[in-house]
Amino acid sequence: MMGKTSVELLIFDLDGTLIESKWDIAASVNLTLAELGLPQRPIEEIFGFVGDGVKQLLRLSVGEGGRGTFDEVLRVFRGQYLAHCLDRTTFYPGIGEMLTHFAGKRKAVATNKSIEYTNVILQGLGANHFQYVVGGDHGFGLKPEPGMLLHVMEQLNVPKEHTVLVGDSTNDINGGHNAGIRVCAVGYGMGNRAKMEACRPDWFIERPEELMELFI
């Protein structure tokens, strides 16, 4: 291993990178389907729908035969997920230690998740670690578009060469590279390993603690 890489800003994806949230997401989807009188889906199938934002998640979950308006689906899901988003969701093992280790660095969250859910979860788990948080409905586009990442760097006044994005999906890797920053992919999240490796991340780690060995 070469020497550590100097960074000033660590931007983190949320679901599958900082937090293990798939159980609460899937449970809330099935509660939504039940409330709408639609057939529930296997949990593993719903896991496969996560990653491109809540609208895509719900479109895939409801399927073609969904009755009622999509606004109604979103409304029902919002109520269910706000009620259940902290039932089982936690930071992954090692995340708390890693965030504390980088207490002197600027840290941000850039997620395709709605800012409403993001704020509730971070308030519950440790929002104090982050100087800036941006969500998928802030108007900067969804990763792999670079908008939210460029916005974070602008707000925190850190140049691209001193910024690293940490994420668990091809959207993160491609989004970081589209924004001109280096990316550390994580193998413990929800992303497809082969697809992530094909996107050529600058680093690939298996445990959050490895970030402490990579960056200074």
Which class for 72: exposed (0-12), middle (13-18), buried (19 or more C-beta within 10 A)?
A: middle
**Mean pLDDT for the stretch of residues 147-155:** 98
Q: Which CATH class is domain 22-84?
A: mainly alpha
| Angstrom distance (rounded) from CA 40 to CA 194 | 29
Domain range 9-20+89-214, its CATH number among 3.40.50.300, 3.40.50.970, 3.10.129.10, 3.40.50.1000: 3.40.50.1000
Q: Which residues are catalytic?
A: 13
Question: What is the Cα gyration radius of the chain?
Answer: 17
Taking the whole predicted model, whether its pTM rises above 0.85 is answered as yes
In the block, which residue shows the tokens 């689906």? Answer: 73
Residue 20: pLDDT above 70? Answer: yes
DSSP 38-72: -----HHHHHTTTTS-HHHHHHHHH-TT--S-HHH
**Average pLDDT estimate for 13-28:** 97
**Which residues of the chain form CATH 1.10.150?**
22-84
What is the per-residue pLDDT for 51? 77
Q: Which tens digit of pLDDT belongs to each residue from 92-122?
A: 999 999 999 999 999 999 999 999 999 999 9
